[in-house]
Amino acid sequence: MAEVQAWAADLRRAGRRLALVPTMGFLHEGHLSLMREGRKRADGVATSIFVNPTQFGPKEDLSRYPKDFEGDLAKCGSAGVDVVFAPEASTMYPPGYETYVEVTDVSQGLCGERRPGHFRGVATIVTRLLCMFRPDVALFGEKDYQQLQVIKALNRDLHLGVEILGMPTVREPDGLAMSSRNAYLSSEDRKRALAISRGLGAAQALYRSGTSEASALTEAVRRELRAADLREDYVELVDAERLKPVASVQPSQPARLLVAAFCGTTRLIDNQPIGG
C-alpha cells in the first residue's frame, strides 16, 4: 500500500494527472475501455483488483466470484495501465478495522434493497481507494448505474475533489451487457439472458414512438423476461440522478430504466437511459 501511495504522490508532485479504475478483477472489454479512457485523460493510470468481501451479502458466495489474476495483469498492460494494486483482504481490513461509509439516500431501493449492506461495502472501499490514490479522475461503468450514483454522492458529500466519470455500458455484439458474472451462464442461459437487453430496446422503441408512461415501458421489459423464463428481481423507471421512481418520462427530466433478473441462478443487471 505504501508503495502505490508513494507512486501516486510522486506523480502529483510532478504536476501530472492520475486516473484510477477500481475493479474486482476477471477483466473484460468493459473494464479495459475504462482504462484506455483513463490513459487519454491522465498521465498515469492505476487499477485496483480487489474482490471486496464487505459488498457481498451472507447468501452471496464470495468464494465463487471468478478470478484470473495473471490474465488480468496482461490485460492491464495491454490497456496502458501503469500500476496494478491487488491487496489481500487483510490489508484493506486489518484487525480492528471499524470505519465504514454509508450513502443513505441514493443507495435505497433497487440493488440496495435486494442486497442489504452491498453499497455500504462499495462506498467504503471506493472511499478508501480515492483517499489512497487521490486521483484526478476515477472511471466507472454505467452498467452498475446505482453504484455509480452512490460513488458520485460520496465524492460530493465528502469533498474528495475527484472527477467521477461514468462510461457507457460495453456490450457483446448480440447486445448482452459485459459482466464478469456472465462466466456463470451456461450456453443456453447465455441465449436466454439476451431478453434483458432486448426488453430495454423494446422499451426505448416504445418511448420513441410516443409512449412515456412508466407502466407501459416497464411492461415492455417484463414481457421479454417472461418469454425467456427469466425471474424478475426488479424493473423500474427512475429519475437518472436520485433514482426515485417516476410515473412517466418528462422531457426536462432524464430518466433511467433499470433491470435486475435471474437467469438460472445468475443475477444480471442492466439499464438504459430514457428521454432527457
107 assigned to a ligand binding site: no
- Based on DSSP, count helices (H) and strands (E) in the chain, helices before strands: 10, 8
230 assigned to a ligand binding site: no
Residue 233, by phi and psi: left (phi above 0), alpha (psi -120 to 50) or beta?
alpha
Q: Are 263 and 230 in contact (CB under 8 A)?
A: yes
Q: What angle do CA 196, 198, 199 make, to 5 degrees?
A: 65
Cell 442489504: give the residue: 116
Q: Is 95 exposed, middle or buried (0-12, 13-18, 19+ CB in 10 A)?
A: exposed
Cell 442461459: give the residue: 189
159 assigned to a ligand binding site: no
144 assigned to a ligand binding site: yes
77 assigned to a ligand binding site: no
71 assigned to a ligand binding site: no
Catalytic residue, candidates 23, 31, 36, 214: 31
68 assigned to a ligand binding site: no
Q: Where are the beta strands (DSSP E) in the chain?
A: 18-23, 44-49, 83-85, 137-141, 163-167, 231-239, 255-263, 266-274
Nearest residue to 244 via CA among 209, 214, 211, 210: 214
What is the dihedral angle through the alpha carbons of 77, 25, 166, 213, rounded to the nearest 10 degrees? 140
User: Which residues fall within 8 angstroms of residue 149, CB to CB, at 6 or more apart?
Assistant: 106, 241, 242, 243
181 assigned to a ligand binding site: yes
For residue 118, indicate whether it is catalytic.
no
50 assigned to a ligand binding site: no
191 assigned to a ligand binding site: no
180 assigned to a ligand binding site: yes
199 assigned to a ligand binding site: no
Residues of each annotated binding site: 24-31, 55, 141-144, 147, 170, 178-181
Catalytic residue numbers, as ranges: 31
Binding-site members for ATP are 24-31, 141-144, 170, 178-181
Binding annotation for (R)-pantoate: 55, 147
Annotated binding site for beta-alanine: 55
